[in-house]
Amino acid sequence: MTKRKLLVAGAGGFIGGWLVKELLNDLNNQVISVDIKPLSEWYQTFEGTPGIVADLRDNRITDQLVEGVDVIYNLAADMGGMGFIENNKALCMMSVSINTNLLDSARRYQVREYFYASSACVYNQMLQKDSNNLGLRESDAYPADPEDGYGWEKLFSERMARHFYEDFGIETRIARFHNVYGPHGTFQGGREKAPAAISRKIALAKLSGKHEIEIWGDGEQSRSFTYIDDTIKGIKLLMGSEFRDPLNLGSSEMVTINQLVEIIEDIASIKVKRNYNLAAPLGVRGRNSDNTLIKELFDWEPGVKLHEGLTTTYNWIYDELSKS
């Protein structure tokens, strides 16, 4: 049997690494992993797939990599948590060149399927001013007023993927990720998201004996957080379907940041003093995933409870910090 040739862009990142691991479980897959980071900085590497270091903002490179490929998974982007995307809007928007190049190369080399990793940051900010957010439906991205910089890039790239299906027949699938977390992810350095950041702070508090952490804002901003296993399962379900519109891929278990701290305190078996930094980047006040559509399509939604996923994540971060 001829193997399917799969290209994973952003394979050195958090979600990309877990996706490569899952794709390698199928012996009919030949996986090509590519990322701009040096191999020493990839979150995970695996035998059986070449780790290629390349800049996909160069269309000559995407042409070389895409020739002969059957499926492209595009998870490559310059991004991070709120602290990064609010202070690096131009860099975030430059990721549009990656998607442009990959789609154009896919068109010319007749790639059959294309997955685009979008984000809940595409949603209209006017609908996210209340911490008691009832859930954002896929249609709530329009009229458009997404997160400045990163959100606009994601929304534009969604439309590009849609039109490459309409004009050139590339079967495109689009998932809107909602705050994905888990082990083997970023937990320090400025690009980490809230679950990893709070886990790191509490782990360091426990290791140092100084039970005190900083929290951005008043802690009452709310989010839903999606465990990596659910994210990978959702990608597989979407790629095996005929659904071509953007789809929420997120947990509907919404918590405030203060509640997130309480969960991780329970996991770590300590209590910490909370120092609130009201001048820190906050993003929208409340965001949650409306999972009506994904349940209709697949009779499934992300279901790993936050306490369960955070236990694995916190313990991994604690062990990593203990090594240093």
What are 287-318's pLDDT values in tens digits? 999 999 999 999 999 999 999 999 999 999 99
Question: 174 - beta bridge partners?
Answer: 116
61, 39 Cβ separation under 8 angstroms: no
- What is the spatial distance between Cα 199 and Cα 214, in angstroms, rounded to a whole number? 12
Instruction: Answer yes or no: are the C-beta atoms of 277 and 121 closer than 8 Å.
Output: no
Encode 89-98: b = buried (16+ Cβ within 10 Å), e = exposed. Answer: bebbbebbbb
Domain boundaries, the chain: 4-180+227-249, 182-224+253-323
Number of H helices, E strands in the chain: 11, 13
Give CATH for domain 182-224+253-323. Answer: 3.90.25.10
4-180+227-249 with 182-224+253-323: one CATH topology? no
**Nearest CA among 92, 99, 46, 107 for reference residue 74:** 99
Of the listed ranges 40-49, 82-91, 264-273, 286-295, the least confidently predicted one is: 82-91
Domain range 4-180+227-249, its CATH number among 3.40.50.800, 1.10.3720.10, 3.40.710.10, 3.40.50.720: 3.40.50.720
In order, the DSSP letters of 48-62 are TS-EEE--TTSHHHH
Mean pLDDT of 33-46: 96
Tokens standing for residue 248: 């929420």
Alpha helices in 184-305 (DSSP H): 194-208, 228-239, 257-268, 292-298
User: Is pTM beyond 0.85 here?
Assistant: yes
Catalytic (active-site) positions? 150
Residue pLDDT, tens place only, 50-98? 899 999 999 999 999 999 999 999 999 988 777 788 889 999 999 999 9
